[in-house]
Amino acid sequence: MEKLTIIVGLGNPGRKYESTRHNVGFMTVDLIAQKFGIKVNRLKHRALTGEGRIDGERVLLAKPQTFMNLSGESVREIVEYYKVPVENLIVIYDDADLQAGVLRIRPKGSSGTHNGMKSVIYHLRSDSFPRIRIGIGRAPEGWDLADYVLGEFGGNEAEKVAECIRRAAEAAAVIVTDSVEKAMSRYNGDAGRQNGDVGRHTDLQHSDPHGDISKHNGDTSGKQNGDIHGKNAVDGSRPKDNCSED
């Protein structure tokens, strides 16, 4: 059977959250979809999904619509339906313990304090899958972390994170076509320390479907998420999340 890699971006559905720090996982999946011509507009397994190929390799892109804290319910349904080993799963999400613009790729590991990843690991009963963490920076002193991650990016911060999102999309493609080790060696760290040999996926950095990250529309189908998920998403009381990992 042909190998399938599942790439999941974590975030919260709807217009209210689409441009927030907590939704960089969704933004990265949207960029991958735009680059490789994959429409992520099918609502299945409580996620917006789309199938396609990255340099000939079969992939499924997914953006769970359950709200962050319940992401694992959707991810488990997807993994079980397609009967893929967890090693074929890539999860992309924000990390407030990394400086804005820093990328961290790992082949496995704990959830740290990120509630979305806690849910994913709990429902899969495994942490042995690759993850790509996008640094959004620490909350300013005196700020509640939930308020911070559910806030939008400022100007200079937005530029750094937009670049990090482009590199995260490139890294996901390298994991699919090569290996997580290769992606780690090329992309871990910030853009200024990135290895010069970035390979065939570097044209992603010149293709930014979001423009101003603060105006991100969060949906590759041409519709707003808030119009698509409807009753299939968990009722959206304001999620309270932390987001860090060692």
Q: What is the DSSP string of the chain?
A: ----EEEEE----STTTTTBGGGHHHHHHHHHHHHHT----EEETTEEEEEEEETTEEEEEEEE-S-GGGHHHHHHHHHHHHT--GGGEEEEEEETTS-TT-EEEESS---TT-HHHHHHHHHHT---S-EEEEE--PPPTT--HHHHHTSBP-HHHHHHHHHHHHHHHHHHHHHHHT-HHHHHHHHSB-GGG--S--GGGGGGGG--TTSSGGG----TTSS-HHHHSGGGSPP-PPP-------
Give the Cα separation of 209 and 215 in Å (integer). Answer: 11
Q: Exposed/middle/buried for 39, CB within 10 Å: 0-12, 13-18, 19+? A: middle
Q: Which whole-number Å values give the CA distances from 222 to 43, 183, 228, in the listed order?
A: 14, 30, 11
List residues with catalytic annotation. 22
Give the Cα separation of 102 and 168 in Å (integer). Answer: 10
